[in-house]
Amino acid sequence: MSVDTATVKKVASLARIAISDADAERLAPELNNILGWIEQLGEVDTSAVQPMTAVIPNHLRLRDDVVTDGGVRDSVLANAPAREHGFFGVPKVIE
């Protein structure tokens, strides 16, 4: 697998990261080096190995259906660039 500058730009835009054309030119070979390195793992035969879902053998714990949280509006809104009447205020988004 390898990426070209167009793919780099697309992935960056999906992640909302602004990069210049020059950055994209520089990043494409860097990313390709990383991808190539990871692809070496494909040389190991894993056909008889179950996919590992966690490092520690553990089970997913479930919670009881009880209200134990909330009512912390000030903390929730503390870092908001704009708060209005208890809401977050964001630049208008209308499709």
> What is the contact surface with another protein in residues (CB under 8 A)?
10, 13-14, 16, 53-54, 58-73, 75-77, 82, 84-95
Closer by beta carbon to another protein, 1 or else 61: 61
> In whole angstroms, what is the distance from residue 92 CA to residue 95 CA?
10
Closer by beta carbon to another protein, 40 or else 68: 68
What's at 1, amino acid-wise? Answer: M
Q: Which two tokens stand for residue 12?
A: 């960056």
CB contact at 8 A, 57 and 64:
no
Closer by beta carbon to another protein, 1 or else 16: 16
3-state secondary structure (DSSP) of residue 83: strand
Least distance (Å) from another protein to the CB of residue 39? 18
Q: Which one, of 1, 88, 93, 94, lies nearest residue 42 by Cα? A: 1
Least distance (Å) from another protein to the CB of residue 57? 10
Least distance (Å) from another protein to the CB of residue 76? 5
